[in-house]
Amino acid sequence: MDCTSEIKQYIENNFTEKRKVHTEGVRDTAVKLAKKYGADPQKAEIAALFHDMYRGVAQNTLNYYVKHLGLDSKYVDNANLAHGKIAAIIMERDFDVKDPDIINAVSFHTTGRAGMSTLEKVVYLADAIEPNRVYPGVDELRREADEDLDKACLLSLKNTADFVRSAGKYLDEDTLHAKDYLEKVIEEKERINLEGKNDE
């Protein structure tokens, strides 16, 4: 499964300098978060390296992939949502990555989803907080990432939903499902913690 040398060569040949710097930042952050929260660091590295494989690709090329890979028409003319789905399929087809957790981490790194694995959360969050990211609220998100993976992901999902809605763009339902899912997970954890304290 170790295809890191192949993807690194692909990155070297195809990415802009800015995209290379971002991808390296996501990789380093994902590996660090994986070690902190109990995901596989090697899987985190592979998913992080692959996550933006099609981010800088022309829209007409992405539309071609959407059609020929059988993806939903909602991904037409939507590079932000399409690039992760395309990368997930190509990494399995052309780079022989068969691990479903890595594939899902790439596929859902933009939107999140209900039932996210730890690896998926790690890659999703790493993309949002890598050191080169500069946007309102990112420092708060980084602080939360040091404390609680679920709460950090939820905060990022809320920020994304607010931003997309305020821009009048299409908000993918996976983001809404991910937000609802994590709210329930956090609520359940807090309930169990409270019961534990009451039993002491």
pLDDT in tens, 45-98: 999 999 999 998 999 999 999 999 999 999 999 999 999 999 999 999 999 999
Does 2 have pLDDT greater than 70?
no
Q: Where are the alpha helices (DSSP H) in 15-170?
A: 17-37, 41-50, 59-68, 79-94, 100-107, 118-129, 138-147, 149-166
Cβ atoms 171, 186 nearer than 8 A: no
pLDDT score recorded for residue 197: 73
CA 20 to chain centre: 17
Instruction: Name the percent of the chain lying above pLDDT 90.
Output: 88
The Cα–Cα gap between 76 and 86 comes to: 12
pLDDT score recorded for residue 193: 86
What does pLDDT average to over the chain? 94
Closest CA to 48 of 16, 10, 85, 7: 7
pLDDT score recorded for residue 1: 52
Does 103 have pLDDT greater than 70?
yes
At which residue do the structure tokens 């996550």 appear? 51
Does 22 have pLDDT greater than 80?
yes
Which residues lie below 8 Å from residue 102, measured CB to CB, with a gap of 6+? Answer: 43, 46, 47, 50, 91, 119
Instruction: Name the percent of the chain lying above pLDDT 70.
Output: 98
Higher pLDDT: 40 or 168? It is 40
pLDDT score recorded for residue 11: 92
The Cα–Cα gap between 149 and 24 comes to: 21
Question: What are the tokens at 18?
Answer: 């800015």
Does 114 have pLDDT greater than 80?
yes
Q: Where are the alpha helices (DSSP H) in 1-58?
A: 4-14, 17-37, 41-50
Question: What are the tokens at 171?
Answer: 């908000």
Does 200 have pLDDT greater than 70?
no
Check residue 108 and report its DSSP letter: T
Burial tier of 46 (Cβ tally within 10 Å: 0-12, 13-18, 19+):
buried
The Cα–Cα gap between 9 and 137 comes to: 34
Does 195 have pLDDT greater than 90?
no
Closest CA to 51 of 72, 64, 10: 10
Does 168 have pLDDT greater than 80?
yes
